[in-house]
A and B are shown apart, each in its own frame.
Chain A
């Protein structure tokens, strides 16, 4: 079985690098995009099995990306986990409204994130 492709749309390079290590260690294949625009493009090209999405990004923010993807028939089935540093109550609501499947607040427990990823991919 080919490893699952995870797209991490995030403007912070360091966390992308760390996450790549973590995910590849867990047997996932990870791509990254450094802003919303690129993220959307890569979703079409790479066809990821799951998307990790930051909110605050240049060009198009994460919530917009999420809404767009969930509004597109071709991409609506791709699970999206929002990984954001702005952890307040509104965030959960906003994410839910945008159609995100899960929310993880930075700093997150790697275990918790992997747990959520595997659960979503198992569905």
Chain B
């Protein structure tokens, strides 16, 4: 990873800069003071050398003076002076003056070989002086005057004879007190020698000044030791006078040049430490270090004194230690910076290493490795951070796990929801695909759900139906529709179906209402399934029409036959014999049989179509039984049968369709008579019970076998068909009877034993209190 500003770089930079700052400030301050100190003391050495040399110069002078004094104190010299002095004895001031001006004039005019000159120069004293001057290289010239200024002896020819008119002479003589004096340097053009006059009074033993000596010292020689002296490579010693003119300098003519220009010289003189480093525009044209020291000699402090020893050196050389120091400083700084850099790099690496580790950890964790742990043992805040980080990851893992769990749960729920939705969709689709009109209502008749067929049949939108009362939607009424099978269903909690043909709906419907129960078995609503039975009705109508047409078409010719036979039988067209009558009787019976068959067929078709309608009224069932048995009395007596009808004395009133029950019972009794042989017994019994009645019709007939018993109520099932004359059955009687009784909510059972008899047990609900 490359950062624009990585922590490593920052730390490196920071540490580096810190170290740099410390080093620079420390060294800088140190160096500053050091250099300042050096600067203050750098010229000190040269100043000290100058001081030393000033001592040396003083010493040289001292030495010279001493030597000269010794020279002059020599008796021969004194004698020579005294001899001269003696000449003036008796001469007044004017005479003296006159003498000297004459002598002076003669002296200047005389040639070197003249007697006068020779007398002086060849004297023993002069010879001695000459010898001294020749011997002592320091000395250039020497002469001695007497106490009035007249020349006594000289190493060479002097310019004047009379010297007392010279300033130096007067000063040295000092009114007879005598004083050692150094004169101004003189430059002898001819010999190109700078010389320094040293005037020393000559004293007698008594100390009286008897004469004055003047010696010209050759500065070159005098200071040759200075000339040789070197400070470093470029440093040398220069003697200057009080005005800064060089008295002595190698290769330089004395007094011609100033050592430095006036400004710098003034600066130097005024400087406290007695040295300066300045650019010198006059001489050397270089940067120079100049130090000076006054020559502390009494002779230099007055009169022509004020000499100074200067030590001049190239500033570069002087500043070498400073330069060295600076170089050292630079090297040290460089080394320290290197060290600082390395330290900074190492430090930052150490800093960054755990951070990098942590970074790696974040990447690993980011990749999903939640078990990864950042192992950092630095014992500092970063370890703390790593610990917190690890804890966070732990928490994150827990959170993530629970989130995953949650997500899983959500997914499962979504799937479940989808399944539910799908199931609901499938259910709705299925529901809508039902062609019957279906709706679901709650217990308060509000429509909860309706299928497409229902919605379409109602010519409405689903939102106009859902939540509305079913009777409002279906029948347009304000209260429950009285014929609704829902009411009937509520009574016994069983599904109830009913055909309805509400003109408001416009189509005949078979409505089946099934209850919906809750967990506790309480009815909470109902499903209405209404079947469009228009087609069924049409078919039924066709069937009805067919049946009635067929029966009409059968009955019409049958009635003609019957009436024809009947007319003949009644002998209206003419008398019949017995045989004819018997034959016609047979025909008539079978015509009746056919008619019964037709009637029974019609009955059974009506029953099976559920079209039988009961016209109920309260009747005395006992009376019915009595009437039937009375009607059959004739028939049974023909067979010598005994009919025993036992009914209670009081009327047994029940709520039934008189005709239908009569038909059923008549059928059973007629059967009993028919299938009971002659002299048999028929027993009719009525038992009045609390809520229902029981009728038992038994005979002593041929009975029905066990295997045939279950088929007894089947259609067209005839057992024990009797041959010979008598009423023939249609095979529908028992089926019709059973249907009629059941239509009344009653039951019929049969008990029979072959050759012993048959027993029918009928039970009918009363539905009325007596």
Q: Which residues of A contact B (CB under 8 A)?
A: 12, 14-15, 18-19, 21-22, 25, 56, 84-89, 105-110
Q: Which of B548, B556, B561, B591 contacts A88 (CB 8 A)?
A: B548
Give the interface size class of chain B.
Answer: 20 to 34
Closest B-chain residue to A55, C-beta based? B552
CB-contacts of B549-586 with A (<8 A): 551-556, 558-564, 566-567, 570, 572-573
Q: Which residues of B contact A18 (CB under 8 A)?
A: 560, 563-564, 567
B396 contacts partner chain A, Cβ-Cβ < 8 Å: no
CB B455 to nearest CB in A, in angstroms, measures 37
> Are B559 and A22 within 8 A (Cβ)?
no
**Complex CA–CA separation, A68 to B728 (angstroms):** 43
> Are B573 and A86 within 8 A (Cβ)?
no
> Are B555 and A107 within 8 A (Cβ)?
yes
Q: Which residues of A contact B561 (CB under 8 A)?
A: 107
**Complex CA–CA separation, A19 to B564 (angstroms):** 9
**Complex CA–CA separation, A88 to B566 (angstroms):** 24
CB A30 to nearest CB in B, in angstroms, measures 13
> Are B591 and A107 within 8 A (Cβ)?
yes
> Are B606 and A12 within 8 A (Cβ)?
no
Q: Which of B548, B552, B559, B606 contacts A108 (CB 8 A)?
A: B559
Closest A-chain residue to B603, C-beta based? A88
> Are B606 and A86 within 8 A (Cβ)?
no
> Are B563 and A107 within 8 A (Cβ)?
yes
26 residue pairs bridging A and B, Cβ less than 8 Å apart: A12-B556, A14-B560, A14-B564, A15-B563, A18-B560, A19-B563, A21-B567, A21-B573, A22-B563, A22-B570, A25-B572, A56-B552, A85-B552, A86-B551, A87-B551, A87-B555, A88-B548, A89-B613, A105-B555, A106-B555, A106-B559, A107-B555, A107-B562, A107-B563, A108-B563, A110-B570
- Given known pairs A22-B572, A25-B572, the reply for A107 and B559 (CB within 8 Å) is yes
> Are A88 and B552 within 8 A (Cβ)?
no
> Are B599 and A87 within 8 A (Cβ)?
yes
Q: Which of A14, A56, A88, A110 contacts B606 (CB 8 A)?
A: A88
Q: Which residues of A contact B231 (CB under 8 A)?
A: none
**Complex CA–CA separation, A106 to B599 (angstroms):** 11
Q: Which residues of A contact B554 (CB under 8 A)?
A: 85
- Given known pairs A88-B606, A107-B561, A107-B562, the reply for A22 and B567 (CB within 8 Å) is yes
CB B34 to nearest CB in A, in angstroms, measures 147
Q: Which residues of A contact B564 (CB under 8 A)?
A: 14, 18
Give 5 nearest A-B pairs by CB, closest first: A106-B559, A85-B555, A107-B559, A107-B562, A85-B552
CB A27 to nearest CB in B, in angstroms, measures 12
CB A110 to nearest CB in B, in angstroms, measures 5
B602 contacts partner chain A, Cβ-Cβ < 8 Å: yes
B466 contacts partner chain A, Cβ-Cβ < 8 Å: no
Q: Which residues of B contact A12 (CB under 8 A)?
A: 556, 560
Q: Which residues of A contact B566 (CB under 8 A)?
A: 22, 109-110
B65 contacts partner chain A, Cβ-Cβ < 8 Å: no
B595 contacts partner chain A, Cβ-Cβ < 8 Å: yes
Q: Which residues of B contact A25 (CB under 8 A)?
A: 570, 572
Q: Which residues of A contact B595 (CB under 8 A)?
A: 107
> Are B556 and A106 within 8 A (Cβ)?
yes
**Complex CA–CA separation, A1 to B573 (angstroms):** 25
Closest A-chain residue to B555, C-beta based? A85
0/1 string, B531-563, CB within 8 A of A gives 1: 000000000000000001001111110111111
CB A20 to nearest CB in B, in angstroms, measures 10
Q: Which residues of B contact A15 (CB under 8 A)?
A: 556, 559-560, 563
**Complex CA–CA separation, A107 to B591 (angstroms):** 9
> Are B552 and A86 within 8 A (Cβ)?
yes
**Complex CA–CA separation, A21 to B560 (angstroms):** 13
**Complex CA–CA separation, A17 to B562 (angstroms):** 13
> Are B572 and A21 within 8 A (Cβ)?
yes
**Complex CA–CA separation, A88 to B567 (angstroms):** 26
Closest A-chain residue to B563, C-beta based? A18
Closest A-chain residue to B606, C-beta based? A88
**Complex CA–CA separation, A106 to B594 (angstroms):** 12
> Are A86 and B548 within 8 A (Cβ)?
yes
**Complex CA–CA separation, A12 to B556 (angstroms):** 8
> Are B567 and A110 within 8 A (Cβ)?
yes
Q: Which residues of B contact A89 (CB under 8 A)?
A: 606, 613
Q: Which residues of A contact B602 (CB under 8 A)?
A: 87-88
> Are A85 and B613 within 8 A (Cβ)?
no
**Complex CA–CA separation, A85 to B563 (angstroms):** 13
Q: Which residues of A contact B552 (CB under 8 A)?
A: 56, 84-86
**Complex CA–CA separation, A85 to B613 (angstroms):** 20
CB A82 to nearest CB in B, in angstroms, measures 13
Q: Which residues of B contact A84 (CB under 8 A)?
A: 552
Closest B-chain residue to A89, C-beta based? B613
**Complex CA–CA separation, A22 to B559 (angstroms):** 13
**Complex CA–CA separation, A94 to B283 (angstroms):** 170
CB B611 to nearest CB in A, in angstroms, measures 9
CB B252 to nearest CB in A, in angstroms, measures 175
CB A60 to nearest CB in B, in angstroms, measures 17
Closest B-chain residue to A113, C-beta based? B563
Closest B-chain residue to A10, C-beta based? B556
> Are B558 and A106 within 8 A (Cβ)?
yes
Question: In this complex, which of B552, B559, B566, B567 has the most chain A Cβ atoms within 10 angstroms of its Cβ?
Answer: B559
0/1 string, B640-663, CB within 8 A of A gives 1: 000000000000000000000000
CB-contacts of B614-659 with A (<8 A): none
Question: In this complex, which of B572, B599, B613 has the most chain A Cβ atoms within 10 angstroms of its Cβ?
Answer: B572
Question: In this complex, which of B573, B595, B606 has the most chain A Cβ atoms within 10 angstroms of its Cβ?
Answer: B595
**Complex CA–CA separation, A105 to B553 (angstroms):** 13
CB B580 to nearest CB in A, in angstroms, measures 18
0/1 string, B134-157, CB within 8 A of A gives 1: 000000000000000000000000
**Complex CA–CA separation, A15 to B599 (angstroms):** 20
CB A72 to nearest CB in B, in angstroms, measures 28
Closest A-chain residue to B558, C-beta based? A107
Closest A-chain residue to B561, C-beta based? A107
**Complex CA–CA separation, A21 to B602 (angstroms):** 31
Closest A-chain residue to B556, C-beta based? A85
**Complex CA–CA separation, A15 to B561 (angstroms):** 9
**Complex CA–CA separation, A93 to B500 (angstroms):** 22
Q: Which residues of A contact B570 (CB under 8 A)?
A: 22, 25, 110
Q: Which residues of B contact A109 (CB under 8 A)?
A: 566
Q: Which residues of A contact B606 (CB under 8 A)?
A: 88-89
**Complex CA–CA separation, A109 to B560 (angstroms):** 11
CB A73 to nearest CB in B, in angstroms, measures 32
Q: Which residues of A contact B555 (CB under 8 A)?
A: 85-87, 105-107
**Complex CA–CA separation, A38 to B720 (angstroms):** 52
**Complex CA–CA separation, A41 to B683 (angstroms):** 57
Q: Which residues of B contact A22 (CB under 8 A)?
A: 563, 566-567, 570, 572
**Complex CA–CA separation, A105 to B603 (angstroms):** 15
Q: Which residues of A contact B599 (CB under 8 A)?
A: 87
Question: In this complex, which of A15, A18, A19, A108 has the most chain B Cβ atoms within 10 angstroms of its Cβ?
Answer: A18
CB A80 to nearest CB in B, in angstroms, measures 18
Q: Which residues of A contact B563 (CB under 8 A)?
A: 15, 18-19, 22, 107-108, 110
Q: Which residues of B contact A87 (CB under 8 A)?
A: 551, 555, 599, 602
Closest B-chain residue to A84, C-beta based? B552
> Are A85 and B567 within 8 A (Cβ)?
no
CB B552 to nearest CB in A, in angstroms, measures 4
- Given known pairs A25-B572, A108-B559, the reply for A85 and B551 (CB within 8 Å) is yes
